[in-house]
Structure 1
Amino acid sequence: MATFVETLAAASQVLGVIKELRDIDKGLSQGELKARMADLYSSVADIRMALADANEELRAKDREIAELKARFEQTSQLVEFRGYQYKAGPDGKPRGKPMCPVCMGDGKHVPLSNILDVMHQCPKCQGNFGLLQEFPG
């Protein structure tokens, strides 16, 4: 992908070619004029490609920012109890089952399942945890 600096350099080059075309001496041959025009078209095409790449890069950054904001919003709705994260109720106290700490490291909020009232297990990563506190709600 083209960087912003490369895009500016290409644009500067095109402006230089345009300035040269304005200052052309009438004695310039048709072949030289065509060669300079070809250089100009090539430079403009390079700029268009660089701008398209920069636009795609900006869109990717916007998507990443939106994803991070959503992840932050989800995390801010959790509360810790005895080392595990739970959904927070309206009163700010833990509600429901604890979240899998392994999957939370990957940005996922997966509630643990209670297995025969003996232990908790993650349905996604299959991680086993001891019997943990569950809260109504």
Structure 2
Amino acid sequence: MDIPAALGGVSTALTIVKQLNDIDRRVDEAGFKLRIAEATSALAEAKLGLVDAQEDIRSKEAEISSLRSLLKRKEETVERSGYRYRCDANKNPIGTALCPVCMDEGRFVLTIQSDQSGRPYVCPKCKANFGYLSAFQDP
């Protein structure tokens, strides 16, 4: 049973219990109403639990989708000398390395040289310094 159907069932049960509560009972009316109140409370608690579970499931589904997207993007890179690079259709590295610090956080940021004189490569986002890295020509 899926969560929305379960929520619908619990809502229907709550409605029925409330209708039962309105029925005039002559035999042990106080005991009957107490049991109805307990059942109503239990069903309301169950409904809240299902709502929380549904929110958790939606959150997990969004996280799974995000992780799949990151994995697919990572598959579009190639590793050389411990660093990941963008790659062409033949899996040859292209350009400068991706920052491994940012990749651990789910970002794909290309390293750049700190200036044009061949100085060490740095990440423009997190400012990590990677020293001298290989750079590959774009095809």
TM-score range for the pair, normalised by the shorter chain length: 0.7 to 0.9
In structure 2, how many angstroms separate the alpha carbons of the residues matched to 1:101 and 1:37? 60
TM-score, normalised to structure 2, is: 0.74
The letter of the residue matching 2:54 is: N
The letter of the residue matching 2:134 is: Q
Shifted more, 108-117 versus 47-56: the winner is 108-117
Q: Provide the residue aligned with 1:136 in structure 2.
A: 137
Q: Provide the residue aligned with 1:102 in structure 2.
A: 101
> For 1:48-127, what aligned pairs fall within 5 Å after superposition?
48-116=47-115, 117-127=118-128
Gaps of 5+ in 1: 1-10
Which consecutive segments of 4 or more residues in structure 1 shift more than 4 A?
none
TM-score, normalised to structure 1, is: 0.75
Give per-residue Cα distances to partners, 1:19-52, cap 9 Å, x unaligned. xx9xxxx873111111111111111101110110
Q: Provide the residue aligned with 2:3 in structure 1.
A: none
Q: CA RMSD in A?
A: 2.2
Give per-residue Cα distances to partners, 1:45-96, cap 9 Å, x unaligned. 0111011011111111111111111111111111011221101111210012
Q: Provide the residue aligned with 1:31 in structure 2.
A: 30
Q: How many residues align?
A: 116
Q: Provide the residue aligned with 1:6 in structure 2.
A: none
In structure 2, how many angstroms separate the alpha carbons of the residues matched to 1:59 and 1:77? 28
Give the C-alpha shift of residue 106 in structure 1.
2.1
In structure 2, how many angstroms separate the alpha carbons of the residues matched to 1:27 and 1:34? 11
